Amino acid sequence: MPRILALDHGTKRIGVAISDELKMIAQPLEFIPAEPIDEVFVRLRGILAEKPAELLLVGMPRNMDGTYGPAAEKVRAFIELLKAAVPVPVRTWDERLTSAQANRVMVEGQVRRDQRKIKVDAVAAAILLQSFLDANG
């Protein structure tokens, strides 16, 4: 049964998370270096081959007042390339505060600082995906 794959796009890394087959629980998967972009798409196609997904959810950064800023423009440009690179429908989801939440969760879980830096992107993607699953469950 296909799952949902979520991406938290950052300038240095792209966090990846995946849902369970029932689309109830999100879990962090990995992060992909954001450059070079061709290698990002090679890795995403590899993930999709291993774990088929029916939807690719991409976090859309918004300002706290709900407006879109420069980061959103970068994500929009990434999505246009993504749509041509993968055979899965792409949808955006509000990602406000996901990285802050991810850091807080890991601090509370007593994850060491050096490990937090490595894991924050995938955890942020999981938080993004979980909010989508909760809203659409």
Q: Domain total for the chain?
A: 1
Distance between CA atoms of residues 23 and 21, nearest Å = 5
pLDDT value of residue 116: 76
Q: Determine the straight-line distance between the first and last CA of the chain, rounded to whole angstroms.
A: 16
What's the pTM?
A: 0.88
pLDDT value of residue 110: 83
Contacts of 90 (CB under 8 A, 6+ apart): 55, 56, 57, 58, 79, 82, 83
7 with 59: CB under 8 angstroms? yes
CATH number at residue 17: 3.30.420.140
pLDDT tens, residue order, the chain (137 aa)? 789 999 999 889 999 999 999 999 999 999 999 999 999 999 999 999 999 999 999 999 887 787 888 889 999 999 999 999 999 999 999 886 676 777 777 778 887 888 777 778 888 899 999 999 999 87
pLDDT value of residue 97: 63
**Enclosing domain of residue 91:** 3-136
pLDDT in tens, 30-47: 999 999 999 999 999 999
Tokens of 28: 């962090």
pLDDT value of residue 1: 75
